[in-house]
Structure 1
Amino acid sequence: MVPLHPVALGLVIIALVVDGRGWDLLPDPLGWLLVLVGTRALPATLRHRSALLTSAALALVVSAVVWPPAVAEQVSATDDSVAWALSLPQLAYLALLADAARYAARQAGVPGRAAWFAVVGILAVAAAVLPVLVLGAGVDSLAGTAVLAATLSLLLLAVLALVSARAPWLGGHPRPLPGLPREGSGDGHSDGPSGPAGGPDRHSRPKSGESS
């Protein structure tokens, strides 16, 4: 399994909403379950791996609790700080995965991809911090910016996870080029002990006692 494939699919499910008489027909708990499965398959050496698993599990629990329409309505009717607190596990996961992927890309010598992951991390952190200014300092003009940052970080990370899924530095497996045999497969064209394609060795010397 390519670890980032279920992660990307899960993030897309989380981002989309298909309304069915108040119920989201693309339930966020399903999305977070896929994210958790993919995260568990990421390399053990990946930065923040334990924190990623914890934040994904917390986000799964939160999404399952608020998925029923009645609960979602109650959350919307309460203070905005409750909705912000419930969003923190998701934002933490986005920021942590973005930072882990940024570091892995930089170590692998892919600075362009590392820069894009850094943008996701900045957006996720901004989405987590700006509501503090909105709720605590009354800077209401930043509310829309916080929502935009949260949405962009989720969508951009889903795209980056998909296009980076086969990168070896994120546990992926590059596709073999068409027409080339896989490593270890027998194609009948390997050099044998007697020379190329099993033919006689042109540089072999006659045995002793044989006439030249």
Structure 2
Amino acid sequence: MTTPSPLQRVALGLLVVFASATWPPDPSPSWARYDLLADPVGWALVLWGVLALARVEPRFAAARTAAVVAGLVSVPLWLPQLRHLLDASGEWAASLPQLAFCLLLARQVARAAQEHDERRVARRFALLVTGLTVLALLPVVVLGGGVEGLGPVTALLVLLVDVALVWSLFAVHRRPWLGGEGEAGASGRTTTAARPREEGDGRRTG
């Protein structure tokens, strides 16, 4: 069985963090719901991946630190007895470590892609950086400015950016410069660049 690549682990972990499966369905009191897709488990997967990623490319050290902070914050917040005490502004503040990690990760992937002349990947993750920055600032407008009408727009944008980030990480996880095995690594073959023909390679030359 092939070990997941660093970005596969990160993407799987973020999927657990972003998704939700609450139980019981009809609790008493109403806030006493536990998320079966526990965020601390998701952050453990993320940290497993980002530790390996930082060993391949030291530029991801800041993202590693942000993942540790986000994971620690997620532990008490998994308990409904504590989570329900937060108001809207408190929930936003508690989400900042998660946003910081996603922002740092996307920015460093974009920069690494530029250095490896992967322009499409660089543009995709640069767009994600913009989306994540907007997500960090929108609650300030909604909560601080009292613009309640932006609430549904913010929720939709959160969903779109979360899905795009996870999909994008899965899409690039095989890149060798991100700790992957190459495009054909999963099948046991390695991807090699085309080489010019050399004399003595078995082909006759005219």
1:154 is aligned to 2:154? no
Give the direction of change, closer, same or farther, for the CA distance of 1:83–1:172 in structure 2 (3 Å limit): same
Contact kept in structure 2, 1:24 and 1:67, CA below 8 Å: yes
Post-superposition shift, 1:88? 0.4
What number of residue pairs does the alignment pair up? 183
Partner of 1:42: 53
1:114 is aligned to 2:114? no
Matched ranges for 1:195-210 at <5 A: none
1:66 is aligned to 2:99? no
Distance 1:170 1:124 in 2: 21
Post-superposition shift, 1:196? 9.1
Post-superposition shift, 1:169? 1.9
- Of 63-72 and 134-143, deviating more is 134-143
- Of 174-183 and 143-152, deviating more is 174-183
- Return 5+ residue gaps in structure 2 as ranges: 25-32, 193-199
Contact kept in structure 1, 2:34 and 2:79, CA below 8 Å: yes
Percent of aligned pairs sharing the same letter: 36
Contact kept in structure 2, 1:91 and 1:150, CA below 8 Å: no
- Return 5+ residue gaps in structure 1 as ranges: 184-194, 198-212
Matched ranges for 1:50-129 at <5 A: 50-75=61-86, 78=87, 80-129=88-137
Partner of 1:132: 140
Contact kept in structure 2, 1:105 and 1:111, CA below 8 Å: yes
Question: Which has the greater radius of gyration?
Answer: 1
Distance 2:157 2:58 in 1: 23
- Of 43-52 and 23-32, deviating more is 43-52
Give me the CA root mean square deviation. 2.6
1:7 is aligned to 2:10? yes
Contact kept in structure 1, 2:110 and 2:126, CA below 8 Å: yes
SS in 2 for 1:42: helix
User: TM-score under structure 2 normalisation?
Assistant: 0.79
- Of 16-25 and 149-158, deviating more is 149-158
Post-superposition shift, 1:180? 6.1
- Match among 38, 44, 51 for residue 33 of structure 1: 44
Give the direction of change, closer, same or farther, for the CA distance of 1:82–1:104 in structure 2 (3 Å limit): same
